[in-house]
Structure 1
């Protein structure tokens, strides 16, 4: 959601800015722009639509500069217009790009108007530009102006600032939104995501809450919120440029669906190497933390929330611990009753999801000190704020609709379940060996499910003309039905809902007719016969059924009951395998409808605003 890139160098930085913005396109955006200082003037170009349109305009106007900032915007304050696009400029002298939301922008706007500033946009960001300019005009340098301005802002921000008055520096600041500094030789960079600057450097500094950074060609100085200088650790990113390339696939979503066997194998590698479920997988303190756990509270959003819902079935059935799962944006605004002996588990692909981060802060304020993050991005904010962490090793996920991040989260949560069960004396040696073996064979089962793609493609053609769909599941597979419905609506724009199959007769059955396709997750488990009865309820109302069944379950096909058989039932890890066909169904339905699969409308990859 929104993206920032900035550069200061002895070379032309315009290609660096544009390439960085293209690498941030996956985050979701509706306009793009850059502002650069060319030695004489502060120049800006902005366009609604894709980065390519802005790039063409910059080339036509002959942009060439050694310092500049760029941005991809996902509209919050104000509509999708060029006037609302970033960067925003104050008095032709100072340019700002901003991720986040400033909550007191109305108050600051009135104050600045009284001081003689006029506004050209509806955005909260223009307030930041004028506020920094105001402080700079009081006699301070650019660093002091930014530090003074951000102290007066309420809300979340990551900003990068350049000024015509001080053309040899760039200032960055963050609070609540991710921002990092890239370190080069005689050049330095700023970005909201490491992918934006990988073509230039792998050495990065992650700014902490309240940090500001003074960036020149020669050095980077970081200051805490109180103004004191501080040394932040330099990290070497292991993100691969190849992971950011499409390769032979039509879309990143398709690529990432097919990367799941490898992503899962990488995520379970440490367990396979040990041959056991060890607390040390989660951090040095994990053994003592887990020993005192009396329950689990999972906080997450979107797809990660559905991973948590799946884990609840596992944690209660296998570890024998009570488990609650809550949407992070709801938890943070209610009067929760704290139990410090609960383990707080936050799940986030990016590690920067604002609602989840704020929910974690709220839990800690209530006295929860047993915290664990499951995340895909090392050194991101949520893991840094957590006592323990388990990194899913999915690699870069570019498609907005999460696929391999979801299945690797499921695997990480299963490893957590088994480890907690072992710590609490609920897992026998025989069960541990059985679970290890199931994990070892899981990548192969995922590959078998991927081989169903041609059959699922044929189904997708039948879905394409539909406007609504219903997904059904029972027990631990109900969250997979929810995830299937979410994927379909996200990228194909077909309205889809999911229900526990037993709830059909309590309302949803009223929707069923010949135009409402019904997708059923029907593995060969203890609830299979119940699911078959639910299917008959749909058939009796003329509904058309699309059933994902296991190879060894017995489903008869007919004109209105279509069956695709996934691999033989894989036991407790069945939800991971059944996630694959619903992902493929959504992908191919979207292809058939001609939607923008990787960048669906109105959505963003990393949600760093409320």
Structure 2
């Protein structure tokens, strides 16, 4: 849930890259940062609580200079937000000193701490990472100062997930990187080699990247990868990829925040994602060469996801069962992996993740496979990430880089991909004929325009935000396929405004939540013109009768009218089966503008991280 960078730069000061790279990884979420650089005076560290800019200013003020270094943004897990707990962590003195940065969690760190204390090591932090530093240092002393062998021996003792970068004071042109369960890549340039947890950190310096796989340990010099072994210890090769990530996509441009930028990028993002179905039709081969055989072999679906992706999965359940007539279960990945499960080899397991590195989802997939689930499909936004590599089939969404912690365009493109899957399975199973296929194609074609129409409502929604900003609580209501959108709306409000918000199926009001409704409880209602509209209207009357204030998102062609205590904003005409995607836009904008009024950090909300690579 934090960021790693590192570099060996033969002819340039590494500090410039480390600070730039860490700034580009700020979106992942963090509470402190630091760098360790091998200088003429040994390994020098600069660490600060707070923003990377504070640490970067200190590094310049202290005149830190060197060609080898590592850096880190930390999101606290073990130990509080303090400078002693910030990375990098070091072990040893003088020539034998080593420094480590680490993402993930070492589950057996307490036993390792006790072992290392028995060997004479003193701990200065509360973190599990310091165990890594001391363990590698111990092995380094007893393996002839062979850093690669020391890291390999230490990693064999660790249980859990990690991505680590290691340097040693007496090795001026050497770095070792290791990965297990957390993302880590090596990037290559002339006379320079980099490591990072995300390609965005290196894109300004090179586009040539190598994605390490679980269990990989790599020895790096300024000339590239000198040695790489896999989890069995055997020498391995990993292909070099040329990243297509645009540097412009990582810049704000005319927008005030990345979240605002990414909300407004949704017409293009959904069009790009829908293009595979618009050009290639709703064919199984869009999901991989084996997809037709896999889909024909499956009689049900299980979707595993977390957070916003889980709400996309809940929406997809409606589509998959209504269009494809295929039984579908949806589970929170972190819960699924810890319960006794009845496996079904004929069930397709779908995982959804923006980053493709979400640890809970990754481990849930491994658990499903260990139980005998043979077929898997990953829906993901990041090429070459862990979930696609571990899955039989994959469909990449085309959201582009998403920097804001609160997911926006990743969510709507996931919905487009899942809708395409539902139609594809429906067609394959004989439930969608040629005329219906054409109708679904036309609805996808019109989707971007409807989203743009919804974006044009921003001034009206911003006016609502003035009223929301001073509330302590909010309630979101939806019915049927729009209930997951209510859940997503409540999550967005919680994430970036820190207003407590809950979502319920509107029909559940009378079963408890109605007790919370009074004049201080704004109630957001997603009320499209569909078959449940009259039911939603009745639920709204229940709110109005208790003095609640209603904020209603409805369709252009509905017959809602604003009145005392009832505010109405009309999105485009009802988009039918794709209506949930359109109605996502106004709840995103409501959260964004409410956060602006409250003055919160929109792109980097407190306590949260973009890429959740710890349990």
CA-CA distance at 1:479 after TM superposition? 0.2
* Alignment-derived partner of residue 174 in structure 1: 179
Give me the CA root mean square deviation: 0.7
* Alignment-derived partner of residue 7 in structure 2: 7
Distance in structure 2 (CA, Å) of the matches to 1:419 and 1:212: 40
Q: 2:343 aligns with which of 335, 338, 342?
A: 338
* Alignment-derived partner of residue 86 in structure 2: 85
Secondary structure of the 1:513 match is coil
Secondary structure of the 1:7 match is strand
* Alignment-derived partner of residue 323 in structure 2: 318
Distance in structure 2 (CA, Å) of the matches to 1:199 and 1:236: 13
Distance in structure 2 (CA, Å) of the matches to 1:237 and 1:269: 21
Secondary structure of the 2:209 match is strand
Distance in structure 1 (CA, Å) of the matches to 2:232 and 2:490: 47
1:216-365 aligned within 5 A? 216-220=221-225, 221-274=227-280, 276-365=281-370
> Once superposed, which parts of structure 1, at least 4 consecutive aligned residues long, lie more than 4 Å away?
none
Secondary structure of the 2:73 match is strand
Query: What is the TM-score normalised by the length of structure 1?
Result: 0.99
Secondary structure of the 1:477 match is helix
Distance in structure 2 (CA, Å) of the matches to 1:158 and 1:335: 30
Distance in structure 1 (CA, Å) of the matches to 2:240 and 2:58: 36
CA-CA distance at 1:281 after TM superposition? 0.5
- Asked if residue 394 in structure 1 is aligned to residue 399 in structure 2, the reply is yes
C-alpha distance after superposition, 1:512-541 (max 9, x if no partner): 000000000000000000000000010000
Q: 1:425 aligns with which of 425, 430, 451?
A: 430
* Alignment-derived partner of residue 24 in structure 1: 25
- Asked if residue 99 in structure 1 is aligned to residue 130 in structure 2, the reply is no
Distance in structure 2 (CA, Å) of the matches to 1:511 and 1:430: 47
Distance in structure 2 (CA, Å) of the matches to 1:168 and 1:241: 28
Distance in structure 1 (CA, Å) of the matches to 2:195 and 2:57: 23
5+ residue gaps in structure 2? none
Distance in structure 2 (CA, Å) of the matches to 1:139 and 1:178: 28
- Asked if residue 435 in structure 1 is aligned to residue 440 in structure 2, the reply is yes
Distance in structure 2 (CA, Å) of the matches to 1:29 and 1:219: 29
- Asked if residue 383 in structure 1 is aligned to residue 384 in structure 2, the reply is no
Secondary structure of the 1:537 match is helix
C-alpha distance after superposition, 1:70-113 (max 9, x if no partner): 00000000000000000000023100000000011111111111
* Alignment-derived partner of residue 216 in structure 2: 211
CA-CA distance at 1:167 after TM superposition? 1.9
Secondary structure of the 1:248 match is coil
Secondary structure of the 1:268 match is helix
Distance in structure 2 (CA, Å) of the matches to 1:219 and 1:515: 61
C-alpha distance after superposition, 1:591-610 (max 9, x if no partner): 01000000000000000000
CA-CA distance at 1:186 after TM superposition? 1.0
- Asked if residue 445 in structure 1 is aligned to residue 429 in structure 2, the reply is no
* Alignment-derived partner of residue 131 in structure 1: 135
Distance in structure 2 (CA, Å) of the matches to 1:428 and 1:41: 71
CA-CA distance at 1:2 after TM superposition? 0.7
C-alpha distance after superposition, 1:263-322 (max 9, x if no partner): 001101121112x20111000000001112111100000000000000001111111111
Distance in structure 2 (CA, Å) of the matches to 1:31 and 1:557: 47
C-alpha distance after superposition, 1:213-235 (max 9, x if no partner): 00001230211122221110111
Tell me whether 158-167 or 472-481 shows the greater mean CA deviation: 158-167
Secondary structure of the 1:465 match is coil
1:13-52 aligned within 5 A? 13-52=14-53
* Alignment-derived partner of residue 502 in structure 2: 497
Asked whether the equivalents of residues 5 and 197 of structure 2 are also in contact (C-alpha less than 8 Å), the reply is yes
Distance in structure 2 (CA, Å) of the matches to 1:168 and 1:40: 16
CA-CA distance at 1:508 after TM superposition? 0.4
Query: What is the TM-score normalised by the length of structure 2?
Result: 0.98
- Asked if residue 114 in structure 1 is aligned to residue 118 in structure 2, the reply is yes
CA-CA distance at 1:361 after TM superposition? 0.2
* Alignment-derived partner of residue 548 in structure 1: 553
Q: 2:460 aligns with which of 451, 455, 463?
A: 455
Distance in structure 2 (CA, Å) of the matches to 1:54 and 1:579: 38
Distance in structure 1 (CA, Å) of the matches to 2:92 and 2:213: 30
Distance in structure 2 (CA, Å) of the matches to 1:111 and 1:365: 32
Asked whether the equivalents of residues 311 and 488 of structure 2 are also in contact (C-alpha less than 8 Å), the reply is yes
CA-CA distance at 1:367 after TM superposition? 0.8
Distance in structure 2 (CA, Å) of the matches to 1:608 and 1:359: 13
Distance in structure 2 (CA, Å) of the matches to 1:55 and 1:369: 48
